[in-house]
Structure 1
Amino acid sequence: MKKRDLAAIGFMTFALFLGAGNLIFPPLMAQQAGENWLVAIAGFLLTAVGLPALTILVLGRLSSAEKLTSALPSWMNRTFWFLVLTTLGPAFVLPRAVTVAYEMGIKPFTDANLLLPFSIIFCAITLALALKPGKLLDYIGKIMTPTLIAMLTLLAVAALVNPLGTSLPATQDYLEQPVVNGLIQGYMTLDAIAAVAFGWVIINTIKSKGVTSKADLMKYSKWIALIYVALMSLCYLAMGYLGATSSTIAPNAANGGEILTRYAAGEFGYAGQLLLAGITLMACLTTTVGLTNANAEYYRNTYKTPFHRSAIVVTALTAAVSNVGLEQIITVSLPAILILCPIAIALILSIIFLPKHVVKTGQQSKVVIAATIFGSIDAFAVLDMIPNAINTQLNQWLPLYEYHLSWLIPVVFIFVGLNIKLRSQIANTETA
């Protein structure tokens, strides 16, 4: 593969992950962390960037995204992918991306309600780009991403040259445990599950450049993961710096979007609002194109549905959901995302820590079941759906429950148990 193509795929990967939500998380966290913002961002990067990068590496090693679950029972395999791609697609993330693009990119400039025509146009552009998967690298990796990086760099450099405030004292959470809270916030970006979906796009793009051997796929996946880590880390650091120095322009902001909006206007005036609108629209568009492509690839590979038909259905549903009952859809879909994320991470970890023989015999299903049960508990806790009395007991007796990571210890125990069982079987065979 040519170095230019490798760099373009790395740029494309960065752009696929960089939705508007990723821009909004770090500024608010850094403002709340105050003088400890760099320490908090360090924890944030470990999970928000580290987990997706690890997923890219594992999928490169497997040589295809579907092999992540191929040893599971058929019903479990198909249910996992259907839920992942549906919730990351038209049921939740895609309509949210369209709505956020409208709220931050169009609404500030008009009093009219233009969501309906905007969603139709935005989804039509998404469809037009997604229908040419062979050109995805050219569109996103070589044109849209460099433009996005240039706009982000302009805002970041302006903040470095002319910061609009100083760091405030850290809030209580970030005063006592800045790294831990950074880790949790990074985990809650849920990009680990997005990486599983984007794996369909990334691996297929590598293969489209004539890469066929497993060794080469692993090698190029490492380079792509490295480019992604470098670009996304710099982006998060820049957005964190904006939040940490926003005390004058946006004190006690309600969310990261408010910080970015006021900062851009404070640095460049009306031109800054246009700059932020451009960043938001570009970031949302690259994400919607990537997720539409991932959905269409899945349905083509699994159910033999024509690529164009799946892409049309996905974008049509996205446009509809963006306008009708999005809040209700979010209410229904968010628990699914919160449950699927630990399952996806557990599957990735199983490829790393379980012997190939154990994975091939389908014993990953035990990992999936544990992650589902305890991930569900974590999801209900995040959504404040657990009664106070039970919540108190879980805090006392369930390890890592307060950090929404109660699924981790049971999954680790299963890893250890399966490894011990395999070694015992090997020992008994050798003795016999």
Structure 2
Amino acid sequence: MNKTKETLVTAFALFSLFFGAGNLILPPLLGFKSGDFWWLVTLGFCISAICIPIMGIFAHARLQGTLYDFGKKVSPKFALVFALLIYAIAAGLPSPRTASVTHEIAIQPYFDTPYILTSIIYFALVFVFVMNRSKILDILGKFLTPAIIFILLLIIGITTFSYPMDFGDTVFPNPFTAGVLEGYQTFDAIGAVVVGGVIIVSINLKNKGDSFKEKRSLVRRAGWIAGFALLLIYAGLIFTGALMHQEFDADVSRTAILNGISLKTLGNKANLFLGILVSLACFTTAVGIVTGTADFIKSRFGDSQMAYTITAIIGCVLGVGMGQFNVDYIIDVALPTLMFIYPITIILIVLNVLPEKYTSPMVFKTVVITTFLFSIPDFMGSIGLGDTISAVKDLIPLSDYSMGWVIPAFAVFIGVNGIKK
């Protein structure tokens, strides 16, 4: 395979990894609420939904390991707890959300059935596929993503040329921060550290004769291409939502606006087709999350098949439990968890990308601890307890924007490196 084709194939795999169906429902409503500040919202969204996840892939290329290796420099115990926490969050939130998205996009518009029924049938099928691994999902994936991209580009193109360049007023006090925090909801930084290693393993298997430098260069080239493609889709969907600011009620849900935009631009038949594609893409995502989680637990128990089966059952039961709620409720529930785990995940990604001479075990420990401590006020604010620590928050730069951990983490990073010298 020549280098250009190899780069494009790898870029497509990376794009498929990050472009989960759940991500589709986030940008349109974000644009709808952003008004003439849609470009600033897009910038914030792309930092947390594209830049950080792609950096996670770069970190994987450098580590050549697993999720466990991301936190190893802090301590082995921390690395294990972090890995278990990430897998638990993945199985308990983004996986069930795929069932809820499927219900709202493909079932609810046509059948008057409850969420719980969809969730039970959905995760029963997920369990069957997890226990009987098949290449069917890989084959589906090769056709699903191009089809969804084609439809989305049609929607973006038709909207751009059909609607006047007129934008409403933004409802966000800080559009940039709103974009960053909504980008958290893609779970793509978590996706990068959870399943990014799969891409690296594939590259190693296909390119055994290549040097480490050549493999790293391949990943970087593919990463830039995948990142640009994601930017095109996300920015296009946010822009589309902003142009259609007069087409929907102010309280429209994320899935309703996606359905509505598709219906207004493509008509009934195309909307049904999009619903089927999104449902299949959701399903492959759920199978991937449950399988990845079960594989990790299995590896911690001496390759025990029983551990794999029990984990798969727990993952599917969690899926049914959370999947019976609507998408907006799951997103609301996820916010406190993301405010807690995302800053630590971002810091670990960044530290694992930086040159070794700046990232000693001491730097890892102090920066991660600082990030954890300074993200507590943001976490408390997300669960409605912000007023109890308002005096503390007033002293922390950027805390009003739910990013109070950024400057302290950076200052400690600079300080510890300065002391070393």
TM-score, normalising length: structure 2: 0.85
> 1:357 and 1:232, CA in 2 relative to 1: closer, same or farther beyond 3 A?
closer
Deviation at 1:21, TM superposition (A): 3.5
Does 2:193 align with 1:193?
no
> 1:127 and 1:160, CA in 2 relative to 1: closer, same or farther beyond 3 A?
farther
User: Which residue in 2 is equivalent to 1:214?
Assistant: 212
Deviation at 1:32, TM superposition (A): 1.9
User: Which residue in 2 is equivalent to 1:170?
Assistant: 169
User: Which residue in 2 is equivalent to 1:365?
Assistant: 365
Does 2:149 align with 1:149?
yes
Segments of 5+ residues of structure 1 without an aligned counterpart are 424-432
User: Which residue in 2 is equivalent to 1:381?
Assistant: 381
Q: For residue 173 of structure 1, give the secondary structure of its aligned residue in structure 2.
A: coil
- Matched AA of 2:27: P
> 1:394 and 1:286, CA in 2 relative to 1: closer, same or farther beyond 3 A?
farther
Structure-to-structure mapping, 1:12-411, within 5 angstroms: 12-65=13-66, 66-89=68-91, 91-113=92-114, 115-116=116-117, 119-121=120-122, 124=125, 128=129, 132=133, 138-140=139-141, 142-163=142-163, 167-171=166-170, 173=172, 177-187=174-184, 189-211=186-208, 213-306=211-304, 312-324=309-321, 335-353=336-354, 355-356=356-357, 358-359=359-360, 361=361, 363-386=363-386, 388-391=387-390, 393-411=391-409
Whole-Å separation in 2 of the counterparts to 1:56 and 1:127: 30
Asked if the contact 1:15/1:286 (under 8 Å) is kept, the reply is no
> 1:135 and 1:277, CA in 2 relative to 1: closer, same or farther beyond 3 A?
closer
Whole-Å separation in 1 of the counterparts to 2:402 and 2:131: 35
Whole-Å separation in 1 of the counterparts to 2:419 and 2:214: 34
> 1:6 and 1:120, CA in 2 relative to 1: closer, same or farther beyond 3 A?
farther
Whole-Å separation in 2 of the counterparts to 1:289 and 1:190: 16
Deviation at 1:259, TM superposition (A): 1.5
Deviation at 1:248, TM superposition (A): 3.6
Deviation at 1:410, TM superposition (A): 2.0
Whole-Å separation in 2 of the counterparts to 1:276 and 1:183: 27
Runs of 4 or more above 6 Å deviation: 133-136, 328-333
Q: For residue 394 of structure 2, give the secondary structure of its aligned residue in structure 1.
A: helix
> 1:325 and 1:34, CA in 2 relative to 1: closer, same or farther beyond 3 A?
closer
Asked if the contact 1:28/1:243 (under 8 Å) is kept, the reply is yes
Whole-Å separation in 2 of the counterparts to 1:44 and 1:258: 20
Whole-Å separation in 1 of the counterparts to 2:114 and 2:187: 31
Deviation at 1:166, TM superposition (A): 5.4
**CA-atom RMSD, angstroms?**
3.2
Q: Deviations over 1:315-345 (max 9, x none)?
A: 4334323333556998876533331111111
Asked if the contact 2:22/2:282 (under 8 Å) is kept, the reply is no
Asked if the contact 1:63/1:214 (under 8 Å) is kept, the reply is no
Asked if the contact 2:44/2:177 (under 8 Å) is kept, the reply is yes
Asked if the contact 1:87/1:337 (under 8 Å) is kept, the reply is no
- Matched AA of 1:67: D
> 1:94 and 1:172, CA in 2 relative to 1: closer, same or farther beyond 3 A?
closer
Q: For residue 303 of structure 2, give the secondary structure of its aligned residue in structure 1.
A: coil
> 1:173 and 1:335, CA in 2 relative to 1: closer, same or farther beyond 3 A?
closer
Q: For residue 25 of structure 2, give the secondary structure of its aligned residue in structure 1.
A: helix
Q: For residue 114 of structure 2, give the secondary structure of its aligned residue in structure 1.
A: coil
> 1:305 and 1:213, CA in 2 relative to 1: closer, same or farther beyond 3 A?
farther
> 1:336 and 1:42, CA in 2 relative to 1: closer, same or farther beyond 3 A?
closer
Q: Deviations over 1:252-294 (max 9, x none)?
A: 2433322111122222332243033134213323422332343
TM-score, normalising length: structure 1: 0.83
Whole-Å separation in 2 of the counterparts to 1:58 and 1:396: 34
> 1:96 and 1:82, CA in 2 relative to 1: closer, same or farther beyond 3 A?
same
Asked if the contact 2:290/2:316 (under 8 Å) is kept, the reply is no
Deviation at 1:131, TM superposition (A): 5.5
> 1:330 and 1:24, CA in 2 relative to 1: closer, same or farther beyond 3 A?
closer
Asked if the contact 1:8/1:137 (under 8 Å) is kept, the reply is no
Q: Deviations over 1:155-192 (max 9, x none)?
A: 333323434x7533322536xx5445434433454422
Whole-Å separation in 2 of the counterparts to 1:233 and 1:358: 30
Deviation at 1:232, TM superposition (A): 1.1
Whole-Å separation in 2 of the counterparts to 1:118 and 1:185: 25
Deviation at 1:310, TM superposition (A): 5.9
